[in-house]
């Protein structure tokens, strides 16, 4: 879980918001689950993984290979300190060193714990988490695949359920926001510290249990303890329609990687805007994502410009984005025209002095030259195959494997 701030009930990008397919009736075990990571991108690393059931908990800090970025340090109250030749993960509040394991050992231990608590749940475990814009399932699957642990995981876990989606549907007439902090206060009248994955895993499970008990109460059925076996089975039945099987998560992530590759191909166009101030980055990133999700790649834009300049670009954009509001179309066209015709700059940008604007034009030309070097190695922009590797430069903070803005 990367963000616990209030998130309004708004439309979410189709590549981010889950349309869960659900699973059939069965004997399932529910486990609250969450992770802390070094940043907001799918390629970032795990620095804590946690699980919770009423009878058992799991929590393990992980030593990542790279440092946490500043927002992640603030969010998780963790930092990495180098002492001599050694790197140490520390609690930012207490400045105490945290006991860590390598990612592969932490994941192996996590799977062993899941196997132990599965018990008689013949149909597997359902991992319950809570995210406004889901990403941590993809991060977990990517890490498991890296260490050849994915098949073992699939034998234990049936699927994932996002408590945010459950609350969004079941509480649509009651709340306008569905974050962990908001629901904790509204449902339990508690102000929870949510900087630790273990606490969020507990709360994610408690929320779906509580919503399930409310549904049972509406039906005038006996409620009983929320942690009893019968209550947990009713909760599993309650959330069954929201469960996303592991195989479906894999398919969605494979499709999402293609979108990421398209976004990466558009980096020469949007790169200068991402190097600008935060306001411009926040303006440009959704526009680039909009193009990528519509299936538009750099080569298509280049071809359209060569064939008919601005008119061809406008025709292509309107064909691919027929339902997008006019203002966004205009902004996209301003950016594209400013890139392909260096004599123009994006009009929504706040211009600097003349020297700065010349530098910007020079950088546009440099980016265009770099984009033409498709065979130069790491800067290759080949996105022609769905199974091609995800080409994301680690130094590029703007690549849109973004998790959730706080």
What is the rounded distance in angstroms from the CA atom of residue 100 to the CA atom of residue 108?
A: 14
Predicted TM-score (pTM) of this structure: 0.73
What is the rounded distance in angstroms from the CA atom of residue 238 to the CA atom of residue 355?
A: 62
- What residues of the chain score a pLDDT lower than 50? 1-18, 220-224, 348-359, 361, 373-406
What is the rounded distance in angstroms from the CA atom of residue 288 to the CA atom of residue 137?
A: 24
Would you state the pLDDT for residue 366? Answer: 54
What is the rounded distance in angstroms from the CA atom of residue 153 to the CA atom of residue 51?
A: 14
Of 175, 373, 179, which Cα lies nearest the Cα of 268? 373
Would you state the pLDDT for residue 43? Answer: 82
Contact 114, 125 (CB under 8 A): yes
Residue 94 DSSP code: T
Tell me the pLDDT tens digit for each residue of 315-334: 999 999 888 888 888 989 98
Would you state the pLDDT for residue 232? Answer: 87
DSSP output for 146-168 = HTT-HHHHHHHEEEEEEHHHHHH
pLDDT averaged over every residue in the chain: 80
Lookup result for tokens 């993984």: 49
What is the rounded distance in angstroms from the CA atom of residue 401 to the CA atom of residue 44?
A: 9
Q: Per the structure block, which two tokens stand in for 325?
A: 């509001």
Burial 95-107 (b: 16+ CB within 10 A, else e): eeebebeebeebb
3-state secondary structure of 92: coil
Would you state the pLDDT for residue 382? Answer: 36
Would you state the pLDDT for residue 350? Answer: 39
Secondary structure tally for the chain: helices H, strands E: 14, 9
Q: Per the structure block, which two tokens stand in for 146?
A: 């890296």
Would you state the pLDDT for residue 399? Answer: 35
Would you state the pLDDT for residue 365? Answer: 54
């Amino acid at each position: 879980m990367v963000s616990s701030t209030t998130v309004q009930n708004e439309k979410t990008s189709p590549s981010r918001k889950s349309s869960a397919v659900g699973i059939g009736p069965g004997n399932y075990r529910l486990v609250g689950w969450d992770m802390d990571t070094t940043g907001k991108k799918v390629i970032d690393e795990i620095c804590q993984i946690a699980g919770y059931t009423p009878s058992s908990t799991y929590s393990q800090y992980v030593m990542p290979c790279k440092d946490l970025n500043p927002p992640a340090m603030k969010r998780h109250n963790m930092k990495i300190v180098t002492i001599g030749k050694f790197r140490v993960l520390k609690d930012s509040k207490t400045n105490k060193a945290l006991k860590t394991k390598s990612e592969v050992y932490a994941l192996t231990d996590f799977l062993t714990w899941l196997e132990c608590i599965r018990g008689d749940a013949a149909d597997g475990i359902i991992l319950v988490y809570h995210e406004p814009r889901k990403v941590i399932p993809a991060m977990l699957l990517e890490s498991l695949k890296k260490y050849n642990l994915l098949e073992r995981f699939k034998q234990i876990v049936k699927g994932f359920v996002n408590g945010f989606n459950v609350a969004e549907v079941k509480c649509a007439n009651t709340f306008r926001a569905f974050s962990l902090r908001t629901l904790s206060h509204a449902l339990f009248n508690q102000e929870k510290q949510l900087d630790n994955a273990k606490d969020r895993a507990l709360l994610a499970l408690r929320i779906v249990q509580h919503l399930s008990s409310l549904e049972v109460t509406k039906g005038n059925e006996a409620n009983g303890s929320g942690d009893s076996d019968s209550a947990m089975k009713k909760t599993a039945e309650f959330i069954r329609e929201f469960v996303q099987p592991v195989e479906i998560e894999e398919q969605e992530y494979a499709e999402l990687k293609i979108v990421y590759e398209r976004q990466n191909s558009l980096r020469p166009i949007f790169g200068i805007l991402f190097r600008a101030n935060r306001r411009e980055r926040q303006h440009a990133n959704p526009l680039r994502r909009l193009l990528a999700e519509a299936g538009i790649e750099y080569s298509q834009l280049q071809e359209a410009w060569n064939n008919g300049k601005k008119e061809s670009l406008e025709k292509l954009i309107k064909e691919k984005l027929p339902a997008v509001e006019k203002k966004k179309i205009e902004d996209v066209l301003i950016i594209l025209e400013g890139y392909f015709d260096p004599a123009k700059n994006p009009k929504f940008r706040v211009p600097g002095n003349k020297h700065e604007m010349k530098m910007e034009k020079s950088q546009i030309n440099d980016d265009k030259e770099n984009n033409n070097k498709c065979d130069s190695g790491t800067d290759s922009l080949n996105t022609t195959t769905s199974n091609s590797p995800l080409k994301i430069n680690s130094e590029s903070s703007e690549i849109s494997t973004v998790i959730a803005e706080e």
